Structure 1
Amino acid sequence: MNSGPRTLSMIIGILGALMAAFLIIEGLHLIILGGSWFYTLAGIALAASSVYMIRRNILSTWIALGLLVATALWSLAEVGTSFWPSFSRLIVFLCVALIATLMAPWLSGPGRRYFTRPVTGATSGALGAIIVAFLAGMFRVHPTIAPQDTTHPQETASTADSDQPGHDWPAYGRTASGTRYASFTQINRDNVGKLRVAWTYRTGDMALNGAEFQGTPIKIGDTVYICSPHNIVSALDPDTGTEKWKFDPHAQTKVWQRCRGVGYWHDSTATDANAPCASRIVLTTIDARLITIDARTGQACTDFGTNGNVNLLTGLGPTAPGSYYPTAAPLVAGDIVVVGGRIADNERTGEPSGVVRGYDVRTGAQVWAWDATNPHRGTTPLAEGEIYPAETPNMWGTASYDPKLNLVFFPLGNQTPDFWGGDRSKASDEYNDAFVAVDAKTGDERWHFRTANHDLVDYDATAQPILYDIPDGHGGTRPAIIAMTKRGQIFVLDRRDGTPIVPVEMRKVPQDGAPEHQYLAPEQPYSALSIGTERLKPSDMWGGTIFDQLLCRIQFASYRYEGEFTPVNEKQATIIYPGYYGGINWGGGAVDESTGTLLVNDIRMAQWGKFMKQEEARRSGFKPSSEGEYSEQKGTPWGVVRSMFFSPAGLPCVKPPYGTMNAIDLRSGKVKWSMPLGTIQDMPVHGMVPGLAIPLGMPTMSGPLATHTGLVFFSGTLDNYVRALNTDTGEVVWKARLPVASQAAPMSYMSDKTGKQYIVVTAGGLTRSGVDKNRGDYVIAYALPSEE
């Protein structure tokens, strides 16, 4: 053998030995923790192959091929043919086997004679082809649940909101029922690929310094309305995007800067439709004001509240300033505006009340209030000097409204600090993570349904509930509310009384290991309909290669995890899955009302948490924040350290996907398909953007738009695209590149002037990116070319 191959075999052998040492040592660590023996055994085999490679012995090739076969069998036994788990198990040993085979002509030994040139060529070619197939597979979508029946469902009459709003999109979810359903037919599966940018508008309010552009526009008549992160409202021409007017409330806060939508009200009793404030845009601000604006002129309605403002901090007490932030679109229910607000998570005890209030849209007078300590307070005003009781669950999403039942439905979060429940009130326990139905005119409670008992991991219910009438199997329908949760549980209830339509059962959950005084609920409710809720197993641990997968398995074995609701404790990290970001977060879902198909996106990221004394955290250098890795939870015995469940390489420890779009047949309760959504193309990893459109399925923001023509539009991925999917198959049938990522649900309308249908998205950049690079202020409308 000449010096070149000799040197190469030495280098290959040394590198292989180093990899083998890692597998053996860390594999032994996993064995001690009670985990799989495979990694150590594989490391021993790789070490033997490496030694023989250094000795230039053909046994190196034989062992490498044997190791590949053994790994393939082990992988098949653990994860079947699932692509991403198989990739991380096999790709390294495929490369090792290929290199060892290519080196065979320069190796010696008794088995050398079997490696003739044709055999070597065929074997290395086959291995190379498998590697290429794996690499190509990285760029293909691998369904979580593949569609079994791709035929379009038989259409049924839409009954949830028979009064479709014509060509308009007058509310956050198009109607007060929140279905996000566009009944227009101009854009369909046959022509969606021809969509082009029709116009672009820049708000001038860039999503910088922690601000997020998450607004979904509304459209009424000849005007589109959008609010930017600092609650600046712009009125636009629906065909050109030309600005008609702009209203700036000069909201004063540097925390939680976002506006997800505005409301709209028209005075049906007005004799002059053009009278001042006969039509109003309803706006809440991040500094806790409620404002109405003349929809025609953009001037504040000065007869509303005091000088055009209602102070939403009234009645919330001294802790409310700097803690209470309305960000969601207000609900207009007849002549009542229903509002709630976000309350800072996990910072301290004594946070303000989560009261939900109804205001007269004409005058701004408070009509009613609902709070967990007095759910039948209704129209009874506060006494002089009285405040709503602190530390109660709050509504930080958008409510829904059924005018026939005269009921408002709203989701509630959890009492903060979320991770400590040792001194929670009975009222908070009764209403945490609940959906509540109240009389729209009085605020008096009719019923409530709790989606989690004594929540200790921030499983807020925040998605706008969807109201839809579900076929009852006897030729009629049943009025339903679809309650989506961060837990991934989807509760389908009769909206008249809150009784489950889809079965719900109570299951026992872990009861040991919590710190002293931390009360645990013995049971939790589980719906027969859920997405992304499967209990994690050691074989679910992932990584780009076998090495970080091994480290993730070690972490999994080292942390505490006994399924959902495993208690967070002070002794070891606890895995939280579904994570506290979801499941289904504030974006919610959409319903194709013509077929009864629920479209809903989710997040599938595991997190971990651990209690730590505040003094110890300070000594360790942790800086408290409500959203970061350490939350102080002042007033409780413990702070909480928490983060994503990542490998040392910065990749998620749980197998992909991390975000999906799902189609659910509401008539049968079955998931029709579940598809990974989004690629890593624009997602920074250790400060570097990969630029590769690998569809792992990434965490999603906001919600979808469903159309009558069997399309679902979505833009809230972590890559810079808006997409349209076939609702029967989940296949992406169109996508367009955005200037920056979007965090908002798309909407659609028809122009009264040109007859064109538009799809509109907003784009402000990646969420919580920590930098001001690649941020935006875009409103983009898509339409078919004129000849279409």
Structure 2
Amino acid sequence: MSLRQCGVWAAVIWSQLTGGPAHGWEHWGGDAGGTRFSPLAQITPANVDRLVPAWDYHTGDLQSRPPAAALRTKFEATPILVEDSLVFCTPFNEVVALDPGTGVPRWRFDPKVGDGRRPANRYACRGVAHWIDTQAPADAACRSRLFMGTVDARLIALDARTGRPCAGFGADGEVRIDVARDLLWPGEFQITSAPVIGRGVVVVGSSIGDNVRVDAPRGTVRAFDARSGELRWSFDPLIHDGIVAGHANVWAPMSVDEQRGLVFLPTSSPSPDFFGGARPGDNRNSDSVIALRLETGALAWSFQTTHHDVWDYDLPAQPTLARIETGQGARDVVMQPTKQGFVFVLDRDTGLPIWPVEERDVPQGAVEGERLSPTQPFPTHVPPLVEPRFAPADIFRMLPRVVDSSCDDQLAGLRNDGLYTPPTTQGTLFYPMTGGGVNWGGAAFDPVHRILYANVSRAVHIVRLIPRAEADHLTPPRGVDFGLQRGAPFAVTRAIAMSRLGLLCNRPPWGEMVAVDLEAGKILWRATVGTTEDRAPLGLAFKWGTPLVNGVAVTAGGLVFTGAMDAYLRAFDAGTGRELWQGRLPAPGVANPMTYEWKGEQYLVIAAGGHSEAGTSLGDSVVAFRLARAGEAPSWWSRTIDRPGGRFAGGALTASLVMAVLVSAGWRWRLRRRRL
């Protein structure tokens, strides 16, 4: 079967599976199950080098907002194609609808989010959700509507055709979330991920400041009537009997199986992240994949991926819904990637693992007052996407130790007994770091070839518990994240292990794309994603990878697309992992790409706004690419990768030149928080 025939077959299958058209991208994750798969096959490995910029839309956020607010943005939005418009939200929750072919704005809605909230997880909005009220007349206002959660804890409903608020929803088109307790500051509680909708119910999670206090706001998930805005149900994942804690919230994107009437939640850790003495036991339903009944909020099942979490190993990624062959027939499953680099594959009806998950002994010996779980769950069939242990041989030494021993000095003396080594007052080496493995970008699944694709990050965290008497007078140095953990006997500091040259202390690659054959339990290939080009002077592009919190999109054309923390959108051969193409962006595209067909042409789109927590350059662009038309030719914005080593192989330069370049660059990877 030819690639083109495969694409046509995929389009037919996907239309039948999803009930939607083959040309669009109607949900944040591509479809309600978050597969990030497109059946479009116009762009292929054979012609990807003919991609050219189609249009570039600027939101104006960086110019219209005060610098203190603009410099705290993360443009993580993924547009959706609905009502013949490309719709997305800016970090300040402005909703914009563009012409898909030209990028010309059709309408814009501003909810007037305040500039002075200091949101705990920065100004960010990952996307909007779309719903059609089939009971309303075809020409009725708000028959087709958009939903968005905001940084100031509102759920807003808009007419998808005009951008006007839906007057019948809540009060003038919005519902204010009742947090049910006083906040320490306005930005302690916010909403960052898109809502999900099914059976006339819109479900929304929350994002809450980490490591601030033990008795923190609760991580309640709320569901509202999609027509009226009336509260239908609420669900607090954390069971509070005998414990003092909050959170276990759902800050990451959710998934929906409307046919089964289920919504799938990836829950976070209880508060605080690094000391659990006030919350004994496994803290059931935290760090879990949870299935709830859409119409009632009743618990269908729950599967916990980390017991009694004191490592900030919450679930950051959207559960991916797919149908796979298991060796004993086809099954509908939930695939959940984690920060540890694991992929749990669960039966969609029962939550039971498709393949064995072993409870293995893990390191013990925590600080006084802590009671660790003696075991943790390990998948046995699908190999880890990130190696779960860091050894001295894994230290990255660009220069001889006599010249730069900063990494060895930092890591010496830290407790490092492998995965799940508990936090200590002497300092503990966390690997993967608390923002490692797979993050909020999630995984993509090709249902035709049944391959899972995911971006992963590699870095080392140094975590240290600070006794309360010392913590109250501590001023942490620059680059160290400090969590007071009020109400606990210990505060916490976190720092990325970096050398004096500003390089990560672990060996590259620091960011990879991984392709996995789930059925065979085999990693097919790994590909380094990203270079130092936008960090180092003179455009030196060492192919070491960049941390990758964003996800990928896979197409029936045989390509996987991703952004990175350098300013390129990239295309990889889905079968081999070979990097085929780079499209230059005005700022790093730390967001999930998407693709759609418009008037016979396939477009590829990504939000290119950078990432303030990671220290990248910032921007406010949404950029689209398409294949060159007759008479057009690729420009410097678009280039083919013609050799595996990239533009520079690193070893070709002398150590002295490398040192001079990197020192002068002042390179800093400032990945300080888990919710990157």
TM (normalized to structure 2)? 0.86
Name the structure 2 match of 1:469. Answer: 323
Q: CA deviation at 1:613?
A: 2.6
Q: CA deviation at 1:783?
A: 0.7
Residue 209 (1) aligns with residue 61 (2): no
Q: Is the 8 A contact 1:740 1:766 kept in 2?
A: no
Which ranges in structure 2 are unaligned for 5 or more consecutive residues? 1-5, 63-68, 633-676
Tell me which amino acid in the other structure corresponds to 1:665: D
Q: Distance in 1 between matches of 2:16 and 2:566?
A: 34
Q: CA deviation at 1:288?
A: 0.1
Q: CA deviation at 1:667?
A: 2.1
Residue 481 (1) aligns with residue 345 (2): no
Deviations 1:549-583 (A, max 9, x none): 7553454342110001111111x121001110021
Q: Distance in 1 between matches of 2:250 and 2:480?
A: 22
Q: Is the 8 A contact 1:176 1:333 kept in 2?
A: no
Residue 758 (1) aligns with residue 603 (2): yes
1:215-294 matched pairs, under 5 angstroms: 215-252=77-114, 253-255=117-119, 256-272=122-138, 274-294=139-159
Q: Distance in 2 between matches of 1:725 and 1:762?
A: 19
Deviations 1:708-754 (A, max 9, x none): 11100001x11110000001111111111111111110011111xx2
Name the structure 1 match of 2:532. Answer: 680
Q: CA deviation at 1:536?
A: 1.5
Deviations 1:137-174 (A, max 9, x none): xxxxxxxxxxxxxxx99x98669934243322111011
Tell me which amino acid in the other structure corresponds to 1:226: F
Residue 177 (1) aligns with residue 33 (2): yes
Q: Distance in 2 between matches of 1:434 and 1:332?
A: 21
Name the structure 1 match of 2:194. Answer: 329
Q: CA deviation at 1:622?
A: 2.6
Q: CA deviation at 1:545?
A: 1.7
Name the structure 1 match of 2:669. Answer: none
Deviations 1:117-149 (A, max 9, x none): xxxxxxxxxxxxxxxxxxxxxxxxxxxxxxxxx
Q: CA deviation at 1:332?
A: 1.5
Deviations 1:607-629 (A, max 9, x none): 111111344245442389xx952
Tell me which amino acid in the other structure corresponds to 1:307: D
Q: CA RMSD in A?
A: 2.4
Tell me which moved more, 598-607 or 533-542.
533-542
Identity %, equivalent residues:
39
The 3 A distance-change label for structure 1 pair 649 and 503 is same
The 3 A distance-change label for structure 1 pair 551 and 242 is closer
Tell me which amino acid in the other structure corresponds to 2:556: H
Name the structure 2 match of 1:592. Answer: 446
Name the structure 1 match of 2:636. Answer: none
Name the structure 2 match of 1:198. Answer: 54
Q: CA deviation at 1:701?
A: 2.4
Q: Distance in 1 between matches of 2:15 and 2:367?
A: 50
Residue 460 (1) aligns with residue 322 (2): no
Residue 719 (1) aligns with residue 560 (2): no
Tell me which amino acid in the other structure corresponds to 2:126: R
Name the structure 1 match of 2:620. Answer: 777
Tell me which amino acid in the other structure corresponds to 1:251: V
Q: Distance in 2 between matches of 1:612 and 1:407?
A: 42
Tell me which amino acid in the other structure corresponds to 2:624: A
1:234-633 matched pairs, under 5 angstroms: 234-252=96-114, 253-255=117-119, 256-272=122-138, 274-316=139-181, 321-373=186-238, 391-424=246-279, 429-473=283-327, 476-512=329-365, 514-528=366-380, 529=382, 530-547=384-401, 551-570=406-425, 572-622=426-476, 628-633=480-485
Q: CA deviation at 1:314?
A: 4.7
Deviations 1:762-787 (A, max 9, x none): 1112442558xx32110111111234
Q: CA deviation at 1:297?
A: 1.0
Q: Distance in 1 between matches of 2:154 and 2:113?
A: 9
Q: Distance in 1 between matches of 2:181 and 2:135?
A: 34
Tell me which amino acid in the other structure corresponds to 2:42: Q
Name the structure 2 match of 1:707. Answer: 555
Q: Helix, strand or coil: the match of 1:463?
A: coil
Tell me which amino acid in the other structure corresponds to 1:663: A
Deviations 1:314-356 (A, max 9, x none): 5455568432110001112231111110110011122111011
Name the structure 1 match of 2:43. Answer: 187
Name the structure 1 match of 2:672. Answer: none
Tell me which amino acid in the other structure corresponds to 1:440: L
Q: Helix, strand or coil: the match of 2:263?
A: strand
1:122-137 matched pairs, under 5 angstroms: none
Q: Is the 8 A contact 1:682 1:690 kept in 2?
A: no
Return the index of the structure with the highest Cα Rg: 1
Q: Distance in 1 between matches of 2:436 and 2:618?
A: 24
TM (normalized to structure 1)? 0.74
Q: Is the 8 A contact 1:463 1:485 kept in 2?
A: yes
Q: Is the 8 A contact 2:603 2:624 kept in 1?
A: yes
Tell me which amino acid in the other structure corresponds to 2:600: G
Q: Helix, strand or coil: the match of 1:697?
A: coil
The 3 A distance-change label for structure 1 pair 313 and 354 is same
Q: Is the 8 A contact 2:43 2:557 kept in 1?
A: yes
Aligned length: 609
The 3 A distance-change label for structure 1 pair 326 and 690 is farther
Q: Is the 8 A contact 2:118 2:187 kept in 1?
A: no
Q: Helix, strand or coil: the match of 1:417?
A: coil
Q: Is the 8 A contact 1:540 1:654 kept in 2?
A: yes
Q: Distance in 2 between matches of 1:193 and 1:399?
A: 35
Name the structure 1 match of 2:517. Answer: 665
Tell me which amino acid in the other structure corresponds to 1:522: P
Q: Helix, strand or coil: the match of 1:460?
A: coil
Which ranges in structure 1 are unaligned for 5 or more consecutive residues? 1-151, 376-388
Residue 644 (1) aligns with residue 508 (2): no
Q: Distance in 2 between matches of 1:457 and 1:674?
A: 26
Q: Distance in 1 between matches of 2:503 and 2:447?
A: 39
Q: Distance in 2 between matches of 1:620 and 1:368?
A: 43
Q: Distance in 2 between matches of 1:611 and 1:160?
A: 53
Q: CA deviation at 1:647?
A: 2.5
Q: CA deviation at 1:278?
A: 0.7
Tell me which moved more, 208-217 or 227-236.
208-217
Q: Is the 8 A contact 2:15 2:22 kept in 1?
A: no
The one of 724, 730, 736 aligned to 2:577: 730
Deviations 1:195-228 (A, max 9, x none): 1111111111128221111100001141110100
Q: Distance in 2 between matches of 1:709 and 1:600?
A: 18
Q: Is the 8 A contact 1:394 1:412 kept in 2?
A: yes
Q: Distance in 1 between matches of 2:261 and 2:486?
A: 41
Q: Distance in 1 between matches of 2:514 and 2:544?
A: 15
Q: Helix, strand or coil: the match of 1:432?
A: coil
Tell me which amino acid in the other structure corresponds to 2:345: V
The 3 A distance-change label for structure 1 pair 390 and 665 is same
The 3 A distance-change label for structure 1 pair 639 and 318 is closer
Q: Distance in 1 between matches of 2:71 and 2:183?
A: 27
The 3 A distance-change label for structure 1 pair 780 and 271 is same
Q: Which has the higher strand share?
A: 2
Tell me which amino acid in the other structure corresponds to 1:422: G
Q: Which has the higher helix share?
A: 1
Residue 768 (1) aligns with residue 613 (2): yes
1:740-755 matched pairs, under 5 angstroms: 740-751=587-598, 754-755=599-600
